Amino acid sequence: MAIWATIIINGLCTGSLFGLVSAAFSFQFGALRMMNFAYGAFVMVGMYVMYAGIHHFGLHAAAAVPILIVIYFFVGYFLRATLLRSSDPNVQIIITSGVALVLESVVLFIVGALPRSLLAGIPPTWKFPFMGGILVISKLNVLTFAVSSLVLIGFALFLKRTWLGMTIRAVVQQKEAASLMGVDPEKIINVGFGISFLITAIASVMISLQFVLEPTAGHYYQLIGFLVCVIAGMGNLKGGFYAGLLVGLISTMANIFAATWHDAILFILFVVILTFLPNGVFVSRKSISRAV
Amino acid sequence: MQSAKTEWIGDWITPKNLLVCILIVPVLLIPFFYKGGAALLPMHLVIMVASYIVLAQTWNILSGLTGMFSLGHATFYGLGGYALAVAMVKLKLNPLVGLAAGIVLSAFFGLLLGAISSRLTGFFFTISTIALAQVIRTIAMQWTPVTNSITGLKIFRPIVSRMTFFYLSIAMAVAVSIFFAYLRRSRTGSMFVAIRENINLARSLGVDVVRYKTISSVIAAMIASVVGSFITYYIQVVDPNYLSPIISEKIIMVSIIGGMGYAWGPIFGSVLILLEEFIRGTLGARYAPLASTLYGVILIVFMLFRPKGIVSINLKRSFGMAIAALTPSKDVNASVGPNPENLGAGGGSTLHASQFSKEK
């Protein structure tokens, strides 16, 4: 019993991380109408930047994280401003695939294919007696859950309450009307893209604390991000968090019962949901732009 | 369009096509230029380029003509390879049985893709192709008793001269390219283009969209699977790298940089496959990942400045503009101005896919 409670709690914590990873993509696709296929690659690069900052430049983690976040905002801004100006989805897919190819091969060239890990040893845990057993909760998992939910709540508040957030929503809903109100829609979409990269940076930091670093890790997180978005319905940030929790649970269970088929199970689930419930499992009746 | 069937052979015998046929002759003679073992490497490169031409043509049928943008095309290639290897190594069967099994398996997978595309379009179809490709790759990695996991399967075959593979691959590339050009002009191909251009309009005019999408993906799957079997038989090993996303990206790159939806596209784009071998040969194996970097950069640059690919570059016009820029003479400017015939994808100067299509 205590073992199952441990598994479920840790699964939910991993799931919150998946929710965070998918939030950036969900916002880019659902709200800004940008297909970002390089987004897994950017998660991977963020992980390596953290690794390099801590192990090679001797930065403290608390200093490396803000630097990464600031860099990523500008990367996102200039990526949209220079390469992704086209609104044709196929062009966006091809260009971002090209960016992903460049990032992956450059990382492969610089660091090699050998997997690395940021943390050495077993992360510290809390132990509680629980229903005749011992409940083991990793402190890192709790931190992940806290950071993910805080970032997502903060992002939702930002979109709802601040001037910039309202401007982004206005541009998403009606570009022409927003530009009549004196807003430059292109610039606002650039800024929105930069902000979505900010979330990518935070997600990559949290992933790098828990999982192995590999040049090809991006593919996996990208598909996880797609899966979560598809379950939640594109652009549905709140549903995305719940869907992330669900995927985390499924992933943990799959790891326990059929570890080797873990990926296959997740991706078949992905195709089945996409085919039969294309609007997502957590569908709200509001339009996508409203939900954002 | 109506008289397409009666005049298509006559259309193809043009000075430009004949010129290309003459340019192919030196490639065919490669085995005789070199003495002894020196010919092996050039022949290997030509075999790889030719097989990428075929793969890119199949992707061109699926995505360039029908508009089903797939990012998991390596799946068909890998299925063909694995079917051949499993039939030969595990079941001790004739390679031709493996080839047929691969074709059937891929056709089945193509049917699945067609069925999915009846419900999903655009971006959603694209990501489901990635996910399915990942599923097949996981199966290849994990179903150890059959696929031998990461090590892959090594096949033993009677010694066949490399020259056989060389001519076979070129014949395959030429045949599939001609098939593509023919398909593009045929009634079925017109249906594909109609679906790509405006699916709702096509549906309202009575095109059975699901049927033609399925036909397109099954044709592409079957041909790509033959290439997979061919390459596996030639290299004598198959491993999960056959199914890796990098292969899919290379196929797409070849087709897009050449010119998506044109028969000449993959033929021009496939030259880029040599870049990797060139970097490996000149700078050493350590620098091999940089080839992928260059592929990415070239892909981005083409997408930004030449989204229609190499076939859309009009040599006469660019050359003329260069001359006009260099010489401030009035006569040259007068003769170079934008000729309406030369504008757009159907420009008339060289090596144009427009020879195969009147409608573009």
Which among A89, A99, A260 has the least Cβ separation from residue B142? A260
* pLDDT of amino acid A283: 60
Domain total for chain B? 2
Quote the domain boundaries for residue B359.
313-360
Site of tokens 């979409």: A189
Chain A, 221 to 240: residues with Cβ < 8 Å from chain B are: 223, 226-227, 230
Token readout for A282 is: 């957590």
* CB atoms B138 and A106 under 8 Å: no
Query: Looking at the complex, does the CB of residue A123 fall below 8 Å from at least one CB of chain B?
Result: no
Q: Is B237 a domain residue?
A: yes
Q: Read off the pLDDT of residues B328-359 as tens digits, 9 standing for 90 and up.
A: 554 444 444 444 444 444 444 444 444 444 44
The identity of residue A144, as a single letter, is T
Find the residue in A nearest to B139 (Cα). Answer: A264
Please state, rounded to an integer, the average pLDDT across all residues of chain B: 82
Q: Residues B28, B174: contact at Cβ < 8 Å?
A: no
Q: Domain boundary residue among B214, B245, B273?
A: B273
Q: Domain boundary residue among B217, B251, B273?
A: B273
A280 vs B294: which has the higher pLDDT: B294
* CB atoms A264 and B127 under 8 Å: no
Please tell me whether residues B157 and B221 are part of one structural domain: yes
Q: What is the CA radius of gyration of chain A?
A: 19
Please tell me whether residues B179 and B55 are part of one structural domain: yes
Token readout for A144 is: 């992940």
Mean pLDDT value across residues A29-44: 88
Token readout for B322 is: 């260069």
Q: Residues B221, B110: contact at Cβ < 8 Å?
A: yes
Please tell me whether residues B225 and B319 are part of one structural domain: no
Q: State how beta strands A125-130 and A133-138 pair.
A: antiparallel
Find the residue in A nearest to B138 (Cα). Answer: A264
What are the distances in angstroms from CA A147 to CA A16, A20, B121? 9, 9, 36
Which among A98, A276, A278 has the least Cβ separation from residue B299? A98
Q: Is B134 a domain residue?
A: yes
Q: Is B280 a domain residue?
A: no
Please tell me whether residues B358 and B230 are part of one structural domain: no
3-state secondary structure A101-119: HHHHHHHHHHHCCCCECCC
* CB atoms A101 and B296 under 8 Å: yes
Q: Read off the pLDDT of residues B123-143 as tens digits, 9 standing for 90 and up.
A: 888 888 988 998 999 899 888
Which among A261, A264, A274 has the least Cβ separation from residue B120? A274
Please tell me whether residues B240 and B359 are part of one structural domain: no
From chain B, the residues in CB contact with A263 under 8 A are 134-135, 138
Please tell me whether residues B172 and B25 are part of one structural domain: yes
Q: Which domains does chain A have, with CATH numbers?
A: 2-291 (1.10.3470)
CA distance B69 to B113: 11
From chain A, the residues in CB contact with B297 under 8 A are 98, 102
ipTM: 0.84
Q: Domain boundary residue among B221, B246, B273?
A: B273
Collapsing DSSP to helix, strand or coil, B77 comes out as helix
The identity of residue B309, as a single letter, is G
* CB atoms B296 and A93 under 8 Å: no
Which among A89, A264, A278 has the least Cβ separation from residue B138? A264
Find the residue in A nearest to B68 (Cα). Answer: A90
* CB atoms B124 and A93 under 8 Å: no
Q: Is B303 a domain residue?
A: no
Token readout for B93 is: 């069967």
User: Range with the lowest mean pLDDT among A277-291, B19-33, B197-211?
Assistant: A277-291
Q: Read off the pLDDT of residues B89-112 as tens digits, 9 standing for 90 and up.
A: 988 889 899 999 999 999 999 999
Mean pLDDT value across residues B1-11: 51
Q: Read off the pLDDT of residues A160-183 as tens digits, 9 standing for 90 and up.
A: 899 999 998 888 888 888 888 888
Collapsing DSSP to helix, strand or coil, A58 comes out as coil
Please tell me whether residues B354 and B212 are part of one structural domain: no
Please tell me whether residues B258 and B155 are part of one structural domain: yes
Token readout for A164 is: 């910039």
pLDDT at A73 over 90: yes
Please tell me whether residues B333 and B239 are part of one structural domain: no
Please tell me whether residues B184 and B327 are part of one structural domain: no
From chain B, the residues in CB contact with A98 under 8 A are 295-297, 299-300, 303
* pLDDT of amino acid A238: 80
Q: Is B62 a domain residue?
A: yes
Token readout for B219 is: 């044709």
For chain B, the distance separating the N- and C-terminal CA atoms, rounded to the nearest angstrom, is 11
* pLDDT of amino acid B348: 40
Q: Is B289 a domain residue?
A: no
**Residue among B20, B125, B70 at smallest CA distance from B255:** B70
* CB atoms B293 and A35 under 8 Å: no
Q: Read off the pLDDT of residues B265-283 as tens digits, 9 standing for 90 and up.
A: 898 888 888 888 888 878 8
Find the residue in A nearest to B292 (Cα). Answer: A105
